[in-house]
Amino acid sequence: MTDARDDRAAGYGVCFVCTGNICRSPMAEAVLRARLVEEGLADRVRVASAGTGGWHADEPADPRATAALRAAGYDVAPEDHVARRFEPAWFARYDLVVALDRGHARALRRLAPTPAAAARVRLLRADGLDVPDPYYGDDGDFAECLNIIEDAVPGLLDAIRQEATA
């Protein structure tokens, strides 16, 4: 990730968070980036991703995640992503911290330095359900995970559009 993506002055900031930042959150990041371009909002919204843990720090996205994204028409490459761990100070960088499952949301709220920071955490899915972790699955599980993310992003985009263009 470049420093520009983390610069709070560069616009509304969104960070997706999953476990290791190699499967779900990079896929969500790629989907939202593409939708922001389509909506003409790419210059107003910064998008990043991170993990609750550092197990995969400095690694690229899982090749199965990248393959699922490319198969669905997203222009991504493994070197486009470097996994990192979400740090408490990052609450100051992001207006919205999007958890991919309820466990991530709980971990992020515990990590938040203030109640206002904790209030910036939300689940990706408006129905409150988790985005299942495809890591121990096969290519089909990654494709299904991507479908779930794609289905959830329009609702998230509505919320971002209201905040980022206000």
- C-alpha to C-alpha distance for 18 and 129, rounded to whole angstroms: 14
Considering 18, 33, 62, 101, which one is annotated as catalytic? 18
Catalytic residue among 15, 23, 24, 125: 24
Q: How many CB atoms lie within 10 A of CB 6?
A: 16
CA distance 101 to 17: 9
List, in sequence order, every beta strand (DSSP E) within 52-157: 96-99, 121-123
- Please confirm, yes or no, whether 133 is among the known catalytic residues: yes
Residue 18 designated active-site:
yes
- C-alpha to C-alpha distance for 36 and 14, rounded to whole angstroms: 12
Has 46 been annotated as catalytic?
Answer: no
Comparing CA positions, the residue from 146, 126, 4 lying closest to residue 61 is 146
Query: Angle 139-164/24-39 helices, nearest 10 degrees?
Result: 50
Which is the catalytic residue, given 133, 141, 151, 161? Answer: 133
State the catalytic residues. Answer: 18, 24, 133
